[in-house]
Homo-oligomer: A and B are copies of this chain.
Amino acid sequence: MAHWRMSPNLELNQVVDRLNAAGADIMNLAFGESRLPLLPSLADLLTAAAHRTTYGPVAGTPAVREAAAGFLGRRGLPTDPEQVVVAPGSKPLLMAVQLAVPGDVLLPRPCWNSYAPQARLAGKAPIGVPITAEAGGVPDPAALRATIRTARARGLDPRLLICTLPDTPTGTLAPPRLVRAICSIAEDEDLVILSDEIYRDIVHDPGTEFLSPAEVAPHRTVVTNGLSKSMALGGWRIGLARFPAGARGEQIQAGVLGAASDLWSTLAHPMQEVAGYVLGDPPEVRERLAASARLHGSVARTLHTVMVAAGARCRPPTAAFYVYPDFEPLRAPLAALGITDSHSLQQYLFEEYDIAVLAGHKLGDETGALRFKASTSMLYGRTPDEQLEALDSADPAALPHIRRATRRIEAAVADLRSRCLVEDSV
């Protein structure tokens, strides 16, 4: 533990901020911060809640737990307030669930960069399982069965499976068929599922069917969510978890509350008041969620088009605000530029084009793969006015200030491709 490294997304974000503050103009596609203005009424709510200075219950106040239960119920998960725990972000809740569930942990490969370090802290071996060509966030079912067998043969004890629905880094949503297949394996193998649904309210097409593992395997699935992504409130640190009804769920929840009591006490009380309002889904919040999803989708599709035009393979994004291109088709010519893995690909984009992306190996992917995660969420404008214009637009990617940003990326990867082709033809 003495040589714990800073998580790569937060670290790179700080590096970019420092360089830009010193006069650089680096485009930050490496950090999943939804940079959109505060919904104005939330400032008033925070003011009204300022006098809440007591600790209160570790799990959260009855009011916020009830609001969260309603929020989850309206999303297909009927919930008793007693099943809910709120916290300063979903990150500490994910950590606490890893502490509360014994055994080792299965992760989609690639996946969000904090699951594996959290697993190691909890004394777990993180076991990566490839995703399908269709969608990320859940493992390929056949690979999952095979990996569990292999892991057990190696003396590991996989007992927890983390899923991300919708997914970071791929910006996709696992379809119901895949979710059912995974849940069936979880039943067969007696796995607890931890379904990270922080991007639940950022599905680009409102008609998309969303199926949570908690609907299919209700007694073995913990769900986490929060306001950081959907409401662009990362800096307010508001997360929640829903534990399964029944004895197993209660045991996991008791372990999480124990860890919470010794690690963070509770979510800041004024933030609980804000969460209680937002989780009630009032009309202005529903409107903001819809506008945000439209914006994220519009820009993510543009970035997808740009990557494919440059020669990459890339799953079409349908949720969240990421694309995860694979430059494997250009492996030979990229090698001539010294780009042989995700690390050198990230470095090249940073040094040649001032574009920061997150190399796939930092997300558990194969080091040799030519993949990276690119977030669209900081491309929506430099000022609140530009960002509001983007939220209000029926075609956000066509706005001049957003086009400038996506064209810069387009020019960079087009230039990369042309350098490849030149090298290749030499």
Contact = CB atoms under 8 A, between A and B. Distances in A.
Interface string A220-248: 00000000000011111100000000000
A35 B102 CA distance: 38
A265 B89 contact: yes
Interface string A300-324: 0000000000000000000000000
Contacts of A101: 2
A177 interface: no
B2 A261 contact: no
A154 interface: no
Interface string A316-348: 000000000000000000000000000000000
A410 B14 CA distance: 56
A46 B7 contact: no
Interface stretch (A116-124, A200-208, A279-287, A352-360): A116-124
A118 B262 contact: yes
A258 B7 contact: yes
Contacts of A92: 92, 263-264
Contact of A55 (B11, B95, B234, B271): B234
A425 interface: no
B54 A235 contact: yes
Most buried by B among A235, A268, A269: A235
B11 A261 contact: yes
Contact of A38 (B50, B261, B267, B268): B50
Contact of A235 (B6, B58, B89, B268): B268
A422 interface: no
Given A54-B33, A58-B10, A4 B265 contact: no
A266 interface: yes
A237 B89 CA distance: 13
A53 B264 contact: no
22 contacts: A1-B255, A2-B255, A4-B99, A5-B258, A6-B257, A6-B261, A10-B55, A13-B55, A38-B51, A42-B50, A43-B51, A47-B47, A53-B233, A53-B235, A55-B234, A92-B92, A92-B263, A92-B264, A235-B269, A236-B269, A237-B264, A237-B267
